[in-house]
Structure 1
Amino acid sequence: MKLISFLNQGVPSYGIVDGDEVLDLTPILGTQAPDLKTLIAKDLLGAAAEAAKTHQPTLKFSQLELLPVIPNPGQIFCIGLNYGEHVQETGHKVTEAPAIFLRLPESQVAHGQDILRPAESHRLDYEAEIAIVIGKGGRRIQEEDAWDHIAGYSCYNDGSVRDWQVATSQWTPGKNFYRTGGFGPWLVSSDEIAPGQVMHMQTILNGQVLQDTTTDKMIHSIPRQIAYISSFTPLSPGDVIVTGTPGGVGNKRSPQIFMKPGDICEIVVDAIGTLRNGIRDDA
């Protein structure tokens, strides 16, 4: 099942994607689940699937203005330096614990929306990643139980303003410029992706493949990430974990490649789909 958040005539809603058609779930589930985060929190994915069997879609996917998959996440955790080639190209060392930073919801855009290159810097880099959305919350989740806490998977472009990222030892500013990260196009429910399934991930910028890897090359596995994060803070339904980028980032290429106005950046994951964003200057 593919689930999206979107605006329907300016009103936030969410639904199920079937080809180029969308079943709007808001009028079906009403106050029981006013948004996708609530649907997940109330464990109503099964009810959504049943609704798809008895209701016909009435909207066209191509005509909708999408929102980031979870527009209102409580927490967004990002895993840094989680692929060996990326660790090597950045000159860092593999650490026993995952490197973690946070993103703000305002730093995100949806599939089909433009990522904004800030006026403060033109060193706007791409990072292909897979995002997981927590379905069942918990504290001190064990690795062997972690797969049961995932609602689904999405594509993510962890757009990074590199000079602001490395200006100090803390990465927060360079990872949180307004509307620099892409999140979408949809959430593929966890029943469609097997626990530990190897996924193929690429960044394609203007038709050129710049990152290309598979998820079995992660240093810290998805269960390890969930267990580690939930050891220091409770995870809640709708929280997002962005699981790391491989080697090939533009900042470490020779010559360097940064995203610029007019570019089209695609994050492609075989089991999920394609997140596509244009690039333009922030006004």
Structure 2
Amino acid sequence: MRFCSFRGGDGIPRFGFQLDDRYIVDIPAALACLAESRLVAAIPRPLLRASDLKTWLAVGPSALDFAEQLRQLLLSEQDSCRSAVLETSGLRLAPPIPNAGKIIAIGLNYRDHAAEQKAPLPKAPLIFAKFPTALIGHEDEIRLPDISQKVDVEAELCVVIGKTGRGFAESAARGAIAGYTVGNDVSARDLQFSDKQWVRGKSCDTFAPSGPFLVTPDEIADPHDLKIELKLNGRLQQSSNTREMVFNSYALVAYISQSITLETGDLIYTGTPAGVGVFRDPPVFVKPGDVVEVSIEKIGTLRNRVAQEP
């Protein structure tokens, strides 16, 4: 399934799933309708209490099963609960998990990216953090801070944690993942390199675009064999495959959880492939008016325009 968070014309935050290319189902509205019409025998109380996608996922596998049951019902009962079925064109998509507790990011995790900067492959994942206040969604603006003149963009596959826990074995890590989304690790290179560490330069407000959808693992045969691309103003800047990862998503979940509790809704930005602007000759940095598109096979395209911070 393809889950999302969004706002309608009333501006109220909501969450749901994609019914088809044209429509999104507002999950709480659909549950309220089902409860009133008694189209289903019973709705588990934790699902009725879910106020956002993170709390919905925290219920566990039964939430995914019920969402699929709901999808099939709405597809077969065309006249049922139509008020909960919304046209995508009238919605503003937010980050799939707008209230993520943690954003954990991985540096130097693609072989081709290491090669372009003539760096040895890391022996263990290189971990840094991005602050959740940097999150924005599909079609939101990346805003350039006045204190940076060298802002770069990076295509990334993002893991969304579904199961809270610590000490996951690599063999069990797949069961801890709720799904995958598209990410852009926006980076102020001048801040990053002058600070000698990466948090400030990668955590400026709006520097963590993600979306448009959280795609569940059952829709992706192998998350480590997906085409990943970034286009800047329609021109291809990055093009690779997630098979180029040094440490795949399961290995990352296992490694991080050795010492850090992973919670439902946490995001892992798994690294970027070759082609980033800072290592081009001449270097390429984004400017106001630019449009950045990150695409990952089977997941979707995340699009953001660049603007100067007011």
Tell me if TM exceeds 0.5. yes
Q: Tell me how far apart the structure 2 counterparts of residues 29 and 196 of structure 1 sit (CA, whole Å).
A: 31
User: Which residue of structure 2 aligns with residue 157 of structure 1?
Assistant: 184
The structural deviation recorded for 1:142 is 0.6
The 5-angstrom pairing of residues 177-216 of structure 1 reads: 177-216=204-243
The 5-angstrom pairing of residues 26-175 of structure 1 reads: 26-29=28-31, 31-43=48-60, 44-55=63-74, 56=82, 58-175=85-202
Deviations 1:59-82 (A, max 9, x none): 111221121110011111101100
Q: Tell me how far apart the structure 2 counterparts of residues 195 and 33 of structure 1 sit (CA, whole Å).
A: 30
Q: Tell me how far apart the structure 2 counterparts of residues 63 and 166 of structure 1 sit (CA, whole Å).
A: 41
SS of 1:178's partner is coil
Q: Tell me how far apart the structure 2 counterparts of residues 196 and 124 of structure 1 sit (CA, whole Å).
A: 28
- Contact 2:112–2:244 at 8 Å: present in 1 too? no
- Contact 1:204–1:266 at 8 Å: present in 2 too? yes
**Which segment is superposed worse, 153-162 or 195-204?**
195-204
- Contact 2:130–2:208 at 8 Å: present in 1 too? no
SS of 2:195's partner is coil
The structural deviation recorded for 1:46 is 1.4
Deviations 1:192-235 (A, max 9, x none): 11245510000011111110111111011111100100001111
Q: Tell me how far apart the structure 1 counterparts of residues 236 and 223 of structure 2 sit (CA, whole Å).
A: 25
Q: Tell me how far apart the structure 1 counterparts of residues 232 and 222 of structure 2 sit (CA, whole Å).
A: 30
The structural deviation recorded for 1:91 is 4.3
The structural deviation recorded for 1:103 is 1.0
User: Which residue of structure 1 aligns with residue 293 of structure 2?
Assistant: 266
SS of 1:166's partner is helix
- Contact 1:147–1:195 at 8 Å: present in 2 too? no
User: Which residue of structure 1 aligns with residue 6 of structure 2?
Assistant: 6
Q: Tell me how far apart the structure 1 counterparts of residues 165 and 215 of structure 2 sit (CA, whole Å).
A: 21
Q: Which runs of 5+ in 1 are unaligned?
A: none
Deviations 1:120-164 (A, max 9, x none): 112110100000101122211011111111111100010001000
Percent identity over the alignment?
Answer: 40
User: Which residue of structure 2 aligns with residue 15 of structure 1?
Assistant: 16
SS of 1:3's partner is strand
Give the TM-score, by structure 2 length.
Answer: 0.88
Structure number, greater radius of gyration: 2
- Contact 2:149–2:190 at 8 Å: present in 1 too? no
Q: Tell me how far apart the structure 2 counterparts of residues 29 and 133 of structure 1 sit (CA, whole Å).
A: 24
The structural deviation recorded for 1:54 is 2.3
Equivalent pairs, count: 283
SS of 1:231's partner is coil
Q: Tell me how far apart the structure 2 counterparts of residues 168 and 125 of structure 1 sit (CA, whole Å).
A: 16
SS of 1:79's partner is strand
Q: Tell me how far apart the structure 2 counterparts of residues 125 and 181 of structure 1 sit (CA, whole Å).
A: 12
Q: What is the root-mean-square deviation in Å for CA atoms of aligned residues?
A: 1.4
Q: Tell me how far apart the structure 2 counterparts of residues 58 and 223 of structure 1 sit (CA, whole Å).
A: 35
